[in-house]
Chain A
C-alpha cells in the first residue's frame, strides 16, 4: 500500500485488537505477549510455519480458546458473545461425506440463520439473499450441487458465502489455501482481496506460505516461536527481523517476486 493510505489507516481506530495475549495449552505456553490490531477493510496475512499457533490465535479471536493472559478488543471494548455476529469464520474444510444431503445453497442458508430454532421455511427473501451471497463468491453455477461432491476450491467459495451472508465486518480464514490447486488458489485470493477492498471487510487469513498473498496483503502478522512480529511485509520479513523472532538464524531470500524464508546455519 502507498505511504499516504498507510498514514490514513494508522489514524483509523482498530476494529480488532489483541493486547498481550498469551495462550497455555496443556500446561505449555504456546503463545506469549501477542499484540496486533486490524483495521477496517484491511487484508492481514497471519503467516508462520505449521504448528506455530496460527489456528490457536484464530480460536482466541473467535472466543473458542480462553487466553491465559491479555485481552481481545473489538471496537475498543472487550470481546463478548454479542460480537460473534461481527466475525465471519471460514474453517479449513468441510468435514462431511460426499452423499450428505446438503446443497451449496443449504450451507449458505445455515450461515443466515443456522443458529435459530425450527426449520426455516423457504421464502423469496431468503432465496434472494442466498442467491446474492452465492453470486458474490462466484458459486452460482454449483448452487444446487451436493457440497460433499464439490472440489476444494468450490467448497471454499461456498464456505466464504456462508460466512458473508450474515454481513460480518471481519472475515477469519484458517489456511483456506491449503490443498488448493494453483488456479483455485489465485481465484480465492483475488476474491478475498476484492471483498476487503470493495466491501470494506477486514480479512485475516492464516497461511504457511505468504507468497500467494503478496499482491493483496496490507499487513503481515508473522507467528513463530510463540511470538509475533507485525507490520508491512517489507518491514517484517527481513533476515534480521525473522532471526530475532525465530530465535535462530534464518535467511530471507527474494527471487522473482517471491519471498523464501530459509533456515540458516
Chain B
C-alpha cells in the first residue's frame, strides 16, 4: 500500500488535505463556501477546454479558477455576492458543456476531473503540486491576521487601512490557485467537500482561531488518509469515503459542541 505509485498518492493527497484544511477554514469563516463550490466546479470547464485545444489541463484549470475568482471578486462589490458567484458558475459550466460536447474522447477524463484520480499520480505530477501547495499554504499563513480581521470586523479593518475588498480578492485567488492544483488529484467535487467538512467540524470543537485552523488541517488529513486506505481495500471510489468522512466529522464536531 506504500510503494511506487501509491507513495505519490500518499504525498499528493496529504498536501491537498493541508491546503483544503487551511483555505476551507477561511472559506467557512468568511461565508465564502458557495465560492468554494463554484471555483473548483467552474475550473473543471477550463480543464475541458484545455484538453480540447491540446494543452496541459492545469493551464485551463488555472485560467478558469483565477478568472472566476477575479470575476466574483470584482462584480461582488456592486451586486450580491451569491448571485454573482452563481452567475460565474453557470457561465463556466455552460462553456464546460460546450467543450465536452465538441470533444470526442472526453468521457473518461471528465470523470477523473470531477472525482479525481488519486491512485494514478505520476512522479512528474508530484513536484508541481508540492510547489503550488507550498505557495498556497504560505499565502494563507502570511495573511492570517488580516484575513481574520476583515472576516470579523470589515468596517474596522477598512478604517485601519486594511482593505476588505482587497483581502477578499486575495483570498479568492489563493483559493483558485489551490483549486487548480488539487483538481487533477482529488477532483472538483471532492475538493469542495474536503474544504468544507473538516473546517466546519473544527470550528464547533474549539473557539481558538489558530487551533481551529490546525484542527481543520488535521481532520482533512485524517479524512484523506482514512479514505485512501478504505478505498484501496474495498475498491469503492475514493469520493464516496471523502464525502461521507467530511459529513461524519462534522456531525461528531456538532455532537461534541452540544455536550459541551
Contacts and interface: CB of A to CB of B under 8 A. Distances in A.
A87 interface: yes
Among B29, B162, B207, which residue has the most Cβ atoms of chain A within 10 A?
A: B207
B159 A102 contact: no
B145 A120 contact: yes
B142 interface: yes
A89 B162 CA distance: 14
A101 B155 contact: no
B146 A117 contact: yes
| Chain B interface main SS type | helix
Given A63-B159, A84-B159, A95-B154, A115 B202 contact: no
A115 B145 CA distance: 7
A111 B159 CA distance: 12
Interface string A64-102: 100000000000000001001101010100111001111
A118 B144 contact: yes
A162 B145 contact: no
A167 to B, nearest CB: 14
A145 B153 contact: no
B90 interface: no
A265 B54 CA distance: 78
A162 B145 CA distance: 14
B131 interface: no
Nearest to A103: B207
B248 interface: no
Nearest to B147: A114
Given A101-B206, A115-B149, 20 more contacts: A64-B158, A89-B156, A89-B159, A91-B156, A101-B202, A101-B207, A101-B209, A102-B209, A106-B148, A113-B145, A114-B160, A115-B145, A116-B146, A117-B142, A118-B141, A118-B144, A118-B145, A119-B210, A146-B207, A162-B156
